[in-house]
Amino acid sequence: MRIATFAAAAAVLLAGAAQAQAQTQPTTPEPPRAAKRPHEVKAPGGTRTDEYYWLRDDTRKNPEMLAHLAAENAYADAVLAANKPLKEALYKEIVGRVKQDDASVPYRERGYWYYTRFEAGKDYPILARRKGEMTAPEEILLEQNAMAQGKGYFNVGEAVVSQDNRLLAWAEDTVGRRQYVLKVKDLATGQVLSDTVENIEPNIVWADDNRTIFYIEKDPVTLLSKRVKAHVLGTPASADRLVYEEADDSFYMGLGRTRSDKYLCVLLQSTTATEQRCTPAAAPGALQVVAPRERDHLYQADHLAGRWVIRTNWDAPNYRLMQAPDGAWGEKARWTDFVPHRADVFIQDFRLFDTFTAIEERSGGLKRLRLLKPDGGSEFVAADEPAYTMGFGTNAEADSTALRYTYTSLTTPLSTYDLDLATGKRTLLKQTPVIGYDPSQYVTERVWAPARDGTKIPVSLVYRKGFKRDGTAPLFQYAYGSYGISMDPAFNLPAVSLLDRGVVYAIAHIRGGQEMGRKWYDDGKLLKKQNTFNDFVDVTRHLVAKKYAARERVGAMGGSAGGLLMGAVANQAPQDYRVIVTQVPFVDVVTTMLDESIPLTTNEFDEWGNPKDPAYYRYMLGYSPYDNIKAQAYPAIFVGTGLWDSQVQYYEPAKYVARLRETKTDDNPLVFRVNMEAGHGGKSGRFRRYEEMAEYYAFVLDQLGGK
């Protein structure tokens, strides 16, 4: 009897202790469940049901939708609460590496030295200049910390000084939707003029009269760049003169001045065609066409010393440089070869100088610089690492005898150099300071991973010295793979916190980018888009097979179109990943591309295809992440978005998360972080974005078991 009594008493005590513990330890709430309201999405290729379509609200005012997003944020707070100490430690580490009172390398233009500088503890740069010499008194052009005060989001898109150096025009966005407002300041008095123009692109050009500003007006619904207009200071925006209107919604627009400063140009480009129209900057009038648009002809033209130099893919898939005399408007037959096409070299960009030409080119998956001298000789700018990237710095004056360029790698912080062509002397002007970082403690590699179709995929790797390739390490793999945008191996200051915890960081240079030339891009878009996803997975499997990582300790990340990549990979190969981070993900491909009222849709038919064509509809439907969620186990997933995103609307990831919650069969965490005051780029300010990064880094390390 006594034994039974003691046992019963112990059971009561244990039950009481368990109840007390449950009362003192917070429990994770149930994840939010969005209501299902079937909605038919019709297309020539078929009809689909979208039960979460109601989450779309273009006004962003629907109380039920906002309440759902708030519930997702509250749930994310609860799930991530245990990671908060790690998040705070990561944030402290990352910010601790930043030199808070840093400044950019000054560059000279029209007698002034321009630069930006940061003050300790402040989020935004100060734009400033000095006249004649850097020892002259400082003139502050924009004090962005004061301008951003009281605003949840703030961004200056472009700031341009007039030709007489007296006025500053800039474009600012205080919402995050990339609908900028033009403003003008008198630099002599400091007075901000009453002139404003709303809903513009962050792209401004002054005419030589110092009174006329050319800008691009956006469509208020689709946010497409539609019209080039000219604003004359002191006149209402309603009186602005129409300079050019684009009727084809598949074209993006830009504005610029030629290297010679002689012409103002309107740049028009779709995925498959380019057109450039120019007019004299001294007396703007009718726009002259450099070469009429034609499908599959892409070009960019610049002018210096009485000639045009044109980067063109005319009979040159990897591009060549051609030249034409002044006045050869629209006459492609008068173009002659300057730098011939090469099958193994992709010409990405160029800069004209009075005494030489600099070319930015790609070969072997790396971006490097080549210099063409007046005598016809050429030379490469030297590099010392196996994986790196070079690019042009600010070369504002064509009469310079030195090239300013940047150099970086996964172990080398961004470095700015001047290379004097006359002497060959290379001068390091600045290497971005990284407090407490010792590059000798890190190693970078370039490896080649075989894709399932036999294509070799370049991969850039970095890890801390002492890493053992024994198949036990965690791996964090990043890629983008769309629009021909190349993800070059560049120093990643926040990622040092991953490396210091034993993580191997990899960039997969997959098809859809342009690292290996134009064909690399063409083989990763339209009806070949599946190559992009296969490449990413095959890189992962190769790195695991070569013992760079443990199979169960692999994380992956992508954003925007890279978020599409993450969604496809999660559906197609969930077993290969322990955790996935997907930021502002383009996951509802078919529905978005069917709706031409959504910003950017019409510009991108040649990237993804037009699903109104049944063949494209079927292909896109085969990989669209939202449409291919299935009842299976998924990795732990962190999804981030901004309510005011103009490029990937917030409701795409919102619907994706809702359907994923309803369908997946695992208990792995799925968190959805919605920034209610930001757009596609996340929070503004140099420190606030590190808060977001620290949060998902902590999530990743928690899943991968980083030290």
Task: Assign residue 492 a region (left: φ > 0; alpha: ψ between -120 and 50; beta: otherwise).
Answer: beta
Written as one string, the DSSP assignment of 440-498 is GGEEEEEEEEE-TTSPEEEEEEEEETT---SS-S-EEEE----TT--------TTTHHH
Q: Which residues are CB-neighbours of 367 under 8 A, at least 6 positions away?
A: 348, 360, 361, 389, 390, 391, 486, 488
List 560, 624, 646, 684, catalytic entry: 560
By residue count, the chain amounts to 707
What's the burial of 209, exposed, middle or buried (CB within 10 Å: 0-12/13-18/19+)? middle
| CA 301/CA 328 separation, integer angstroms | 12
With helix as H, strand as E and coil as C, how does 249-294 read?
CCCEEEEEECCCCCEEEEEEECCCEEEEEEEECCCCCCCEECCCCC
Structure tokens at 449: 């991973």
With helix as H, strand as E and coil as C, how does 282-333 read?
CCCCCCEECCCCCCCECEEEEEECCEEEEEECCCCCCCEEEEEECCCCCCHH
DSSP conformation class of 203: -
| CA 651/CA 34 separation, integer angstroms | 12
| CA 635/CA 649 separation, integer angstroms | 24
Cite the DSSP H helix spans in 80-109.
84-96
Q: Which residues are CB-neighbours of 508 under 8 A, at least 6 positions away?
A: 449, 457, 459, 477, 478, 479, 535, 536, 539, 540
Active site residue 57: no
Tokens 């049901």 map to which residue? 49
Active site residue 238: no
CA atoms within 13 A of residue 291's CA, in its CB half-sphere: 26
* Strands 180-186, 192-200: pairing kind: antiparallel
Active site residue 296: no
With helix as H, strand as E and coil as C, how does 644-707 read?
CCCCCCCHHHHHHHHHHHHHCCCCCCEEEEEECCCECCECCCCCHHHHHHHHHHHHHHHHHCCC
Nearest to 410 by CA among 499, 541, 535, 511: 499
* Catalytic residue numbers, as ranges: 560, 645, 680
